[in-house]
Amino acid sequence: MNFEESKKYLYGLGNEVLAMKLGLENIRTLLAALDNPEKKYMKVQVAGTNGKGSTVAFLESICASAEIKVGATTSPHLISITERVRIDGEEISEKDFARCATVIRETSEKLVEKGELETVPTFFEQVTAIALYAFAEAEVELAILETGLGGRFDATTAANSEIAAITPIDYDHQQILGNTLEQIAAEKAAIIRSDTRVVSAPQKAEAEKVIYGKCREVGAEPIWAIPNVRLIEKVGDGTLYLSFNTKKTNYKAALRIQGRHQWTNAALAVCIAEILCDFNFRISKESVENGLETAEHKGRLEFWFNHKGFNILFDGAHNVAGAKALKEYLDEFVSEPVTMIFAAMNDKDLTEIGDILFPKASNLILTKPENQRSMDTAELLKFVPENLDKEKVFVTETVEESIRKANEISWKNELILITGSLYLVGEAQKLLNNQSQI
């Protein structure tokens, strides 16, 4: 398959959430048929609700600064599926992605022919296999794996990572993971095994109890990455110069990834980096500081400028914790009016998210990305607070139309904020890459 054929094939397997199959049997069978590429390098698996991608970005950047050959796989992608597989900080090439995807497809289909699998693995299972296979080919020393959803049955868990890291756990995907924080935490803590080093960000009491319980069950000792962080100064444009204290040393860095909520993710990445030194990786203080300063994470408090002169802020705030973090950032760093473009997936309860974010908008534009899980705009309207000026609320049925509307109604000093779903962020960025048409 060439790149376009590989995309068509993978997307033809169904939506990565709607077509998801719980269980690790298929991915383990597939990896075994590929000669277990995941056993050829060390792995860190990152689970949790918020901050997984940012933690991966910080740790990946730290390792690159330490000249460790590193692979990383994250999800979802924003513009190109190649974003999901990075080696030494660079996206896999379309040619290499297609070649690996062909190997995974052919192997999957042979397993079905032989009766070892009932059906070919899902989209997410095959993309995970593509990443693990590509990392082995590139002879990486370390792979950082972002859990897709939950942990117990997520395809990345089949890699049996030596380090299990858990970011803050909160409510999300309740229809799959459970309705209580304890149930959600149990799904995520299931990545902990007797042979893993466990490191966690600070957690709410219910989640912390579950993590401790899982560690006692398997005989592991959790390490808590307490964010002992101090603000030294605000450098400007939202950049914060920080001091990170650990038991080993003190690090100072100006984070390019913005938002005070990132302090917890950065502290977790620093703690993982220090643990990696116990596995004979050489990571200096300077590598940690440089990695923190140069790390980037697309679609999370990411600024662009469009051809009409508007400042655009992208942030995939798709749950309550993300909405709170975005509001705190806006309260601290944004003084100008905000035109907000918002969309969400149809499995979200937006009651609290709407109450948090929508009052920050001088103009609110509701829209619907080209994703079969997208919530209809008529449904989105139900979550607009009663006291919001209805003359400032606009409904558009496509993302392109929403961007045109934002350009039309915004003043030159207004910020255009695109938020609520990473699928919205990705589609908007893809459209804005061809700005002359909008």
pLDDT at 105: 98
Report the candidate in 427, 245, 271 with the shortest Cα–Cα distance to residue 345. Answer: 427
* Average pLDDT estimate for 61-85: 97
Q: Which tens digits make up the pLDDT trace of 96-124?
A: 999 999 999 999 999 999 999 999 999 99
Q: Percent of the chain at pLDDT above 70?
A: 96
Q: Which residues share a beta bridge with 350?
A: none
pLDDT at 175: 75
Burial class (CB within 10 angstroms; exposed 0-12, middle 13-18, buried 19+) of 125: buried
pLDDT at 14: 86
339: which 2 tokens?
A: 């035109």
pLDDT at 308: 62
401: which 2 tokens?
A: 């139309």
Q: Provide CB contacts within 8 A for 180, sequence distance 6+.
A: 206
∠ CA 2-83-99, nearest 5°, is 25
Is the pLDDT reported for residue 435 higher than 90?
no
> What value does the CA radius of gyration of the chain take, rounded to a whole number of Å?
21
Q: What is the CATH class of 300-437?
A: alpha beta
Is the pLDDT reported for residue 310 higher than 80?
no
- Which phi and psi angles does 254 have, rounded to 5°? -100, 110
Report the candidate in 36, 124, 23 with the shortest Cα–Cα distance to residue 74. Answer: 124
pLDDT at 22: 67
Q: Which tens digits make up the pLDDT trace of 163-205?
A: 999 999 998 877 778 889 999 999 999 999 999 999 999 999 9
Torsion sign (Cα): 319, 325, 331, 337: negative
pLDDT at 164: 98
CA distance 199 to 187: 16
Report the candidate in 403, 375, 409, 379 with the shortest Cα–Cα distance to residue 391. Answer: 409
* Average pLDDT estimate for 331-352: 92
Positions of CATH 3.90.190.20 in the chain = 300-437
* Average pLDDT estimate for 347-363: 93
Alpha helices in 79-195 (DSSP H): 94-113, 123-138, 174-177, 181-189
Mean pLDDT of the chain: 94
pLDDT at 21: 66
- Which phi and psi angles does 235 have, rounded to 5°? -75, -30
Confidence class for position 237, pLDDT limits 50, 70, 90: confident
3-state SS class at 177: helix
* Average pLDDT estimate for 148-152: 91
Pick the CATH number of 3-294 from 3.40.1190.10, 3.30.1060.10, 3.90.1150.10, 3.30.70.2190: 3.40.1190.10
* Average pLDDT estimate for 42-60: 97
CA distance 210 to 273: 25
Positions of CATH 3.40.1190.10 in the chain = 3-294
The single-letter code of the amino acid at 287 is: S
pLDDT at 436: 56
* Cβ proximity of 89 and 435 under 8 Å: no
How many CA within 13 A on the CB side of residue 282? 1
Q: Which residues share a beta bridge with 315?
A: 300, 419
Rounded to 10 degrees, the C-alpha dihedral 166/172/178/179 comes to: 120
3-state SS class at 312: strand
* Cβ proximity of 376 and 344 under 8 Å: no
3-state SS class at 365: strand
**Strand arrangement, sheet containing 250-255:** 229-236, 239-245, 250-255
Is the pLDDT reported for residue 414 higher than 60?
yes
pLDDT at 394: 97
